[in-house]
Each structure stands twice: as C-alpha cells, then as structure tokens.
Amino acid sequence: MNCHRFSLCLLVTTTLLVWLPPTETRAQRSKMLEAVKQREQDAWKIASDIWKYAEPGYQEKNSSRALAQWLTKMGFEVKTGVAGIPTSVIATYGKGAPVIGILGEFDALPGLSQQGVPVRQPAGGKYGHGCGHHLFGAASANAAIAIKQQIENGQLKGTVRFYGCPAEEGGSAKVFMVQAGLFADCDTVLHWHPSHQNSAGDRSSLARIAVKFRFHGKSAHAAGQPEEGRSALDAVELTNHAAQLLREHTPEQARIHHVITSGGLAPNVVPDFAEVYYYIRHPKAEIVRPLYKRLLLCAQAGALATETKLEIKFEGGIVEILPNNTLAQLTLKNLRELNDLKYTPQDREFALRLQQTFAKPLALDNIERVTDQSGTISRGSTDVGDVSWVVPTTGFSASCWVPGTPGHSWQAVACGIQPFAKRGMTMASRVLAATAWDLMKNPPLIEEAKREHQKRLGQVKYKTLMQPGQKPPLDYRNPPR
C-alpha cells in the first residue's frame, strides 16, 4: 500500500497539463463556470436547508430528498435507496465513456448544535454540521449540473454521475456502495471538502475501524447488596484501562480513541448495561486489522474479569486514500486558477470575533492562498478511501471556515451558514466542474490517471475492512439502549 508519489507519474502529468484547449473551447468552459455562479442561490438554499436539518448518518431523509429533487428537476435520472441505504442518491446524465463521478455528502455530527453566531450558542437540536457536509453535497450537485448541461448542448461527450453518500461520519456508506458495484464503470471520481484553507495534492488519509463494545451484567443495590451485582460499567473501565496500556505498544502514527456512550443511570444501582465506542486509525489498513484484534482482547478481558457478557457491534472499517497525482495536479491547477475568495468587512468582523475562541488563529488572508499538500497524510479518515482503491480518485479542500477553525467544532458549524461559506462552496463547484470538463476534453489525462492507479496498486488488491456479509449499520447513531 504505497501512498507516495511516483516521480514518473509527476513527469508525465506535468507534460499533459501543458495542453490547452482551443480559444473557442476555453470560452465555452468559461461560460459553463459562469453558469455555476448563476446557480449559487439555488445551491445555497439547499445547503442552508440541510444545515438546518442537521440530520445524523443514515437518517438524512430531508437532506437527501432535497438533493434528489433538485437533480431530478434539472433533468438527471435519479435513483434513491441504493446499496441497501435508504438515504443514498445516484443521479446520472449522459451515455458512454468517460464516466466522471462526483461525490457529495450531507450528514451532521452529534453534540454540535449551534447557531450562526461567533459565540457558543446551541440552536436547540443535538446535531450540527461541524464538517460542512451541507456545503459538500450542494456544491457537488451544482458541479454535476454544469457538466450535464454541457453534455446536453453537445460541448462534452460522456456521462456525469452524482453520488449522494450518507453517513460519512462513522457510517462508511461509500464502502457498501463500492461493494454494490456502483463505481464499477467510472473512469475517474472527484470530491472536495470544506475546510479553513484551500489545498489540493496527492494526499492520503488514515484507515479506520469503528466498534462498539456492549457489556451486559446484573443490576443490584450498590450499597445494600453489591455482591449480587455484576457491573457492566466496571467492564468498560477495565477495557479502557487495558486500551490505555495497549497504546504504549502500538506502531507509530496509530490512534486509538473512544467515548463511553452508556455507563449507568444512578450510582446506587449497579449498571447492568454499559457501552464504549472505539475508533482505531493508522495510515495503513494492514496495520489497523491486527490492532483491532488486540483491542478486542482488551474488551474480552474486561468481560472476563467482571463476569459480564460482551456484545460486539462492529460498525465497519474504511481504508486509506490511494492518491492519484495525475488527477491531483489537474485539480491543484484549477484550484489556483479559480480561487477568488476574499473577506468583506462584515466577514472580517465575524472572523475576528470567532478567532477569540481559537487556540491557534491564523491570518485571515490565508483564504486567498492555495496549499499543495502532495505527499502528505491527513490526520482524518474518510470512506472516500475505499472508492479510491477501485477507481482513480482525487479531491481538494475549499476555504469555507475562518482560518484556524478546528474541524468537528461548534465554530465550524457557525461558519457554515456565513456568506463566506457560500462563496467557498461556489468556488468548489467551479473547481469540480472545471476539472471534470478538462478530463472529458483531454482523454489522455484519464488514461494516464488509470495507468498511475494501476502502478500504485501493483500486486495489491483492494480488501475491505468490513466483515464478510456486513450490512450498513443504519442504526449506528441510535441511542445504545
């Protein structure tokens, strides 16, 4: 599993990128990108609605419906509920090759309800878009519409397909979509992500396994008859202690982190049920697999020591992104070309107030820059990784948050409904559309991306971190009991 750049690919890609379309074709491309801006309000209406819905993974009924209805209205053939996932969406237009896939997401995160103000002020719900997925889905749909219209008017030949992917935050929906063969005919796949900066490059990510350990014990009066009780909470605590010791003996860059989702309701009742939710991460899936087995031993030891019963709810796994420098360099070029982001005085006022809550604020003019992150590894995980092992894939980040905003925070939620988030979303749509256009107009780029994909794979075949026959964990955001 080699996640580093190939110098050969870089040289070939650089040669290909000097290709420029004829003047007339470039004018048509510019016209297409202007049309993306003209749909900004339509996209923003959907993004704003999804921000308000703030629906958790596999429960995004309103969010997926909004995107599906828009794409249906715009002339796509739309399918919903694919791969056994009720909130999934696939929208297709065109026929024949090349088939360009564009990913979109729309799930929210727990515990991040927040209003669009620069101070901590929950909106009253449980969930919030702390990863900007309300922008992700809407921007990607807008880009898909742009390419659809160019196919429709004869400027492009091929197929564009929007993938509405639920439950990226721990639910791993794209893995099940891959297993259902939904990317089998794609030539390339594009994606993006909201961030506090603009960046692109052949970057990888962390593979991840998610698991819930549920312990079933026996309740009793904690003071009057403690000997009769078998504490499920004790089992969780022993599991966690064993996991803390395990961390000392794990490979570099491994991450093991957890939350206790249920630990009892009253101190005078021995808890007969408790649950702890774990993530295991590493830059390589081949390291995550054996680490999971070692963590499982910790849970089994906790159950053995407390005479409780262990129930394992395996939520699934995702592999690391297999980068593609050919596609990454094209996207980086377009991001640099199309980045027109600047703050208005009102934006600056909001940003400076929000930055007072940051540990590490950054210069506001960072939104005007583009960072090349080639050869690096993200500290996060994404189920885009599984897609990248079956089809050449690339993505980028667009500045939709105040520089220095931590992801998965209330600050990110507050940024997500601001005017500068709208402009970042539109810029992302334009980069996606421009990249898809360039690929369709220059087939050698697609062929080079495929050759690089095969070189990076080598003799290694894609192997999921899911268990055999595993189904989408549609209830993973439900309360533990």
- Alpha-carbon distance values, 36 to 78, 143, 153, 194 (Å): 21, 7, 16, 18
Q: pLDDT category, 12, cuts 50, 70, 90?
A: very low
H-assigned helices in 54-169: 61-73, 133-152
Sign of the CA dihedral running 75, 137, 146, 42: positive
What pLDDT, in 10s, does the model give residues 251-260?
999 999 999 9
Closest alpha carbon to 104 in 177, 29, 157: 177
Q: State yes or no: pLDDT of 274 exceeds 90.
A: yes
Q: Give the CA distances from residue 48 to residues 66, 163, 267, 409, in Å, rounded to whole numbers and listed in that order.
A: 11, 20, 43, 18
pLDDT at residue number 15 = 41
pLDDT at res. 469? 93
Find out whether 438 and 100 touch, Cβ atoms under 8 Å. Answer: no
pLDDT over 50 (residue 5): no
Q: SS3 of 440, please?
A: helix
> Tens digit of pLDDT for each residue in 91-132?
999 999 999 999 999 999 999 999 999 999 999 899 999 999
Domains in the chain (CATH in brackets) are: 7-204+320-457 (3.40.630.10), 207-318 (3.30.70.360)
Q: Would you say residue 1 has pLDDT above 80? A: no
Mean per-residue pLDDT, 77-100:
98
**CA–CA gap between residue 35 and residue 441 (Å, rounded):** 19
Residues 9 and 477: their CA atoms lie apart, in Å, by: 42
What is the average pLDDT score of the chain?
Answer: 94
What pLDDT score was predicted for residue 393? 98
Q: In this model, does residue 281 exceed pLDDT 80? A: yes
**Over the stretch 54-78, which tens digit does the pLDDT of each residue have?**
999 999 999 999 999 999 999 999 9
Instruction: Read off the pTM.
Output: 0.93
Given a contact cutoff of 8 angstroms between Cβ atoms, the answer to whether 278 and 210 are in contact is yes
pLDDT given for residue 480 in this prediction: 82
Region of 192 (left: φ > 0; alpha: ψ -120 to 50; beta: rest) is: beta
Structure tokens at 220: 């009793």
What span, in angstroms and rounded, lies between the C-alpha atoms of 428 and 367? Answer: 13
Angstrom distances, CA of residue 270 to CA of 223, 302, 305: 9, 16, 16
What sign results for the dihedral spanned by CA atoms 372, 378, 379, 382?
Answer: positive
SS3 (DSSP) at 111: coil
Mean local confidence (pLDDT), 200-217 = 97
Rounded average pLDDT over 140-155: 98
pLDDT at position 479: 85
Distance (Å, whole) CA 418 – CA 347: 8
Residue-level pLDDT at 21: 58
Mean of the pLDDT values across residues 4-28?
53
Chain centroid offset of residue 95 CA: 28
Is residue 6 over pLDDT 90? Answer: no
Q: Give the phi and the psi of residue 280 in degrees, each rounded to 5.
A: -125, 130
Q: How do residues 189-201 score in pLDDT, each as one tens digit?
A: 999 999 999 999 9
